[in-house]
Structure 1
Amino acid sequence: MNRFDNQTVLVTGGTGGQGSSHVRAFHAEGANVVIGDIDAERGAALADELGTRVRFTHLDVTDESSWSASVQAAESAFGALNVLVNNAGVQNPPAPIENTDQATWSRILDINLTGTFLGLKVAAPALRRAAGGTIVNIASTMSLGGTAHYAPYVASKWAVRGLTRTAALELGRDHIRVNTIHPGVIATPFIQEPAAGATMAIADFYSPDPFAIPRLGEPTDVTRLLLFLTSSDASFITGSEYVIDGGLLLGPALQTETA
């Protein structure tokens, strides 16, 4: 028996580098998967690729009515919603705070923070109707410290941490667990390609050479942790934060010579 047989999972940003990895893994583990994304072409293609037990729903995470329609689509197609992965997110073009325009600030917070808030708000009643479930909010190692030139992104992800803890307190008695994952530098277009309006990507600022594990992370590294946190194996875990960064936050590893 697969870990997610007879369960329905909604993954936002489900066509991206990490999102599509999550979608494929949940599906392989037996889940009904709802791909939520604004990219209809890629979403439909991924749903067609996987075939059975998959639906694509157009989801603008900044729009509460879009959230309601996506959750309703999951329940209509599969009977219940059991897992929400708040994965959708965007980064800002790197710039000092004094050179960051308010429109950029608002856009990043609308998607990364308000999108997560609305997901919690709309999905909670559905998970309650299913007699419980789990939510994982994808944050970032940038939510555990400051990062120059990424103020909107950093602020949004710091706020997701507090939102997650509050939701865990509010929903725990309803058998709904809420946790965060904090990926470091993961080898996806989100990290390796410049944001709109930028000339440098996040990966350009980070070399994995000093990491304790000297490589970039892979989407599957995050996916394996996500599958654990949303499974029954993690039934006593809520309000917790899981860092997966190869030791990025530990500081530089001691370089030693080998014989």
Structure 2
Amino acid sequence: MSRATRAAPGQRPGRLAGKVALITGGESGIGLATARVFVAEGAHVLVSGIDREALARAGDELGPTALVAVADVTDEGAVAAAVARTLEAFGSLDVVFSNAGVAGPIGPLTACSVEAFRRVLDVHVVGAFIVLKHALPVLSDGGSVVINSSVVGLTADPGIAPYATAKHAQVGLMRVAAKEVAARGIRVTTIHPGPTSTPFQADVEQRATGLEPAAAADAFDQAIPLGRHASPEEVARLVLFLAGDESRFLTGATVALDGGMSI
């Protein structure tokens, strides 16, 4: 498949025209919103995830410049295959959005099982490491890697020890990677969204508060200085900026999009 993307006469080229991206956890929420934005801005995209049916729907929606692949980020062979398929289909790799994640249990640290704690770290930290391990050697010089952390990768709250620990750990991984690939002009950053209107977030809010969806969302809004959730599209637009040439001098950064929660 050709990676060339040409604008129609009189139409500006997309901000990612001619670029190739790999998105993990891309079958829903922030990942799918980012895939939509990337495709609209001219990129070829491979979207990976673990939900076959949701991936199939995403592929149908995104159209011919996107492919989908089932890949659990904790499975090194599956990640390596997804990277290889991206290169085979599109000829290069310019952008990686490491987005796959799980919420994990909510409750006191002392009540969390070791197995549950490890599972959250496996997906967020080991998974991101595996993605970087296989993507960085083939990433184009001047490319971009964005890891989706969280506002609780900058702060913390009671009851979320596995998730907050994993999200903080992603920052350390990002900073090491940013220094290791800087000589190639590759930029590595983490983003730190606050509460975002996705099914993932709604599940967390209901389990944390014991309230119905609307009331749970309102309770979380009260903790956000700007008083509302982000939309997945707002987060996707931040990823677009970090993926594109406008952010060529930005690396090693923790970029908050949290409505002021980390102030």
Same fold at TM > 0.5: yes
2:247 matched to 1:234?
yes
Q: Which residue, 182, 206, 211 being the options, matches 2:224? A: 211
Cα offset for 1:41?
Answer: 1.2
Cα separation, 1, equivalents of 2:47 and 2:41: 16
Cα offset for 1:22?
Answer: 0.4
Structure 1: 4+ residue segments shifted above 6 A: 195-199
Percent sequence identity over matched residues? 38
Cα separation, 2, equivalents of 1:27 and 1:200: 38
Cα separation, 2, equivalents of 1:156 and 1:200: 24
Cα separation, 2, equivalents of 1:194 and 1:144: 18
User: Could you list the per-position Cα deviations for residues 170-216 of structure 1 after superposition, in whole angstroms to 9, with x for gaps in the alignment?
Assistant: 01101211001000011111111249998848993843135331111
Cα offset for 1:147?
Answer: 1.4
Output the amino acid matched with 1:215.
Answer: R
Q: Which residue, 186, 194, 207 being the options, matches 2:196? A: 186
- Secondary structure of 2:105 counterpart: coil
Q: Counterpart of 1:33?
A: 45
Cα offset for 1:135?
Answer: 0.2
User: Could you list the per-position Cα deviations for residues 41-84 of structure 1 after superposition, in whole angstroms to 9, with x for gaps in the alignment?
Assistant: 11111111221111001111001111110000000000011100
Output the amino acid matched with 1:243.
Answer: A
Gaps of 5+ in 2: 1-12
2:78 matched to 1:60?
no
2:175 matched to 1:147?
no
- Given that 1:59 and 1:67 are in contact with CA atoms closer than 8 Å, whether structure 2 keeps it comes out as yes
- Secondary structure of 2:135 counterpart: helix
- Secondary structure of 2:170 counterpart: helix
Gaps of 5+ in 1: 251-259
Q: Which residues of 2 match residues 70-219 of structure 1 at below 5 A?
A: 70-127=82-139, 130-194=140-204, 200=210, 204=216, 206-209=219-222, 211-219=224-232
- Secondary structure of 2:180 counterpart: helix
Q: Which residue, 31, 34, 40 being the options, matches 1:22? A: 34
Cα separation, 2, equivalents of 1:70 and 1:195: 32
Q: Counterpart of 2:262?
A: 249
- Given that 2:191 and 2:256 are in contact with CA atoms closer than 8 Å, whether structure 1 keeps it comes out as yes
Q: Counterpart of 1:221?
A: 234
Quote the RMSD (CA, aligned, Å). 2.0
Output the amino acid matched with 1:177.
Answer: R
Cα separation, 2, equivalents of 1:224 and 1:65: 31
- After superposition, the Cα gap between the structure-2 partners of 1:113 and 1:200, relative to the gap in structure 1 and judged at 3 Å, is farther
Q: Counterpart of 2:23?
A: 11
Cα separation, 2, equivalents of 1:172 and 1:148: 36
- Given that 1:92 and 1:195 are in contact with CA atoms closer than 8 Å, whether structure 2 keeps it comes out as no
**Aligned residue pairs: how many?**
248
- Secondary structure of 1:248 counterpart: coil
- After superposition, the Cα gap between the structure-2 partners of 1:111 and 1:196, relative to the gap in structure 1 and judged at 3 Å, is farther
- Secondary structure of 1:18 counterpart: helix
Cα separation, 1, equivalents of 2:98 and 2:36: 16
- Secondary structure of 1:180 counterpart: strand
- Given that 1:179 and 1:238 are in contact with CA atoms closer than 8 Å, whether structure 2 keeps it comes out as yes
Output the amino acid matched with 1:189.
Answer: P
Output the amino acid matched with 1:167.
Answer: A
- After superposition, the Cα gap between the structure-2 partners of 1:227 and 1:58, relative to the gap in structure 1 and judged at 3 Å, is same
- After superposition, the Cα gap between the structure-2 partners of 1:212 and 1:199, relative to the gap in structure 1 and judged at 3 Å, is closer
- Secondary structure of 1:193 counterpart: helix
